[in-house]
Amino acid sequence: MTGGNAKWLAIGNTAIPDSEFANICIPERKSRYGEWFVIPITAHESPNVLAGEDVIPGIIHHGWVDEKIKQWGENDPFFQIFVEAKFVESEQMVVIPQRIQDSAWSFGGDESNEIEIGLDVARRGTDSTVWIARTGSRGLLCRRVSGQDTMTIVGQTRELRRELEKRFDGKDGRPKKTVVLIKVDDIGVGGGVVDRLAELDEPVLPVNNAEAAADPERFANVRAEMAFAMREDMHGGLCGLQDMEFETQQDADDLEVDIRVQKYKILSSGRILLWDKDQIRKELDRSPDFWDALVMAFEYPQGGAPSMSVITMTADGKVSTRPATEEELAGDPDAGPDADETLEEAVGSHGALDSFMAGDDDVD
């Protein structure tokens, strides 16, 4: 590349703002490779979009842009990146846009006859252990404690299950509700809580956020996949927080802040990765425990809801799970067949997440 007429052609997308390609394309920045003539090409300029019909196979279809306007909104970072071909600063890459947050806080949600609980166990002195319970699309309640050991957390979790099932026992004419899942962050101290709840025959489901996603081409891990499933539930009217019970206004405020500060980045592979908790801790001066509990209450690892299962621990310490029987779902803990399915098999049977970027083609 030393000849007088040598030319370079750099082609890429605008997904990574902290890159040399971004330095080339953004006028305010300087590239170590000198000056470039930049030609942005938006999705609006795709031949199929311009023609109003699919004339060239293999690229975005003619209605793709209109679909993304409805799905994302024109101010969303995804729209700016994949439709408008613009770079978006890292600070603006929020998981839940404000308009979607607002819709969740103004929506009460619909109830079902099942209750699920998300439990994030505190790891450090300034962190909180948080429970969030929901039924159907309605957030029920939020509880927070600090400074408790794992066995105390186990006892408080069991007491919360009993409290909820007593409140919704059907005696007041309302439909009876049963706690069918308690989803717990299994990494670190949460593992001890999972093991003890399993020993006590509680319907516990461990969540390992570092595991591979059900859609590994889109998401870097389970944590990112569940976060964007939460985004879609809020956007699609499947998460209502309007009537959730909080013990203090501070707890409500902390959940609202936790939702607002969740950010992500797009890796060079094109996969989505959330900011790690240390980055968020710098903003909040604490861990986003409320967000973690909320996501576990509404979402599932591996991208889909499992069939209702009972997870138990045998005398030799082996954790296993099996489908729940009708009697167990009705509240009889002594009913049901022997466990014959491993936890890994149960988790592996979950359905795949319907991608938030659903469409016929990707945008390059």
Task: Give the pLDDT confidence of 327-345 residue by residue, as tens digits.
Answer: 544 444 454 444 333 333 3
**What are the φ/ψ torsions at residue 328 (nearest 5 degrees)?**
-70, -40
pLDDT at 118: 97
Mean pLDDT for 33-59 is 93
Instruction: Quickly tell me which residue has 């909104």 as its tokens.
Output: 73
Q: Which residue has the higher pLDDT, 326 or 24?
A: 24
Q: What is the pLDDT of residue 307?
A: 37
Lowest mean pLDDT among 3-12, 156-165, 188-197: 3-12
Read off the pLDDT of residues 17-41 as tens digits, 9 standing for 90 and up.
Answer: 888 999 999 988 888 888 899 999 9
Q: What is the share, in percent, of the chain residues with pLDDT greater than 90? A: 58
Integer CA distances (angstroms), 24 to 1, 79, 93, 291, 364, in order = 18, 21, 21, 37, 18
> Given pLDDT bands bounded at 50, 70 and 90, which one contains residue 323?
very low
What is the distance between the alpha carbons of residues 72 and 75, in angstroms, rounded to a whole number?
A: 8
User: Is 194 in contact with 317 (CB distance < 8 Å)?
Assistant: no
pTM for this predicted structure: 0.73
User: Nearest 5°: phi and psi at 6?
Assistant: -65, 140
One-letter amino acid for residue 220 of the chain: A
CB 182 within 8 A of CB 196: no
Enter the tokens of residue 152: 């105390």
Average pLDDT taken over every residue of the chain: 83
**What tens digit of pLDDT does each residue of 212-247 get?**
999 999 999 999 999 999 999 999 999 999 999 999
Write down the pLDDT at residue 33.
86
What's the pLDDT tens digit per position in 119-175?
A: 999 876 668 999 999 999 999 999 999 989 999 999 999 999 999 999 999 888 888
CB 324 within 8 A of CB 180: yes
Where do the structural domains in the chain lie, given as residue ranges? Answer: 20-92, 100-348
Q: CA 193, CA 214: separation in Å to the nearest integer?
A: 25
Per-residue pLDDT, 192: 94
Residue 45: CB atoms within 10 Å: 10
CATH of domain 100-348: 3.30.420.240
Outline where the chain has alpha helix (H).
20-25, 47-51, 64-72, 77-82, 98-105, 150-167, 190-199, 222-235, 249-260, 277-284, 289-298, 326-329, 343-348
Higher-confidence position of 304 and 173: 173
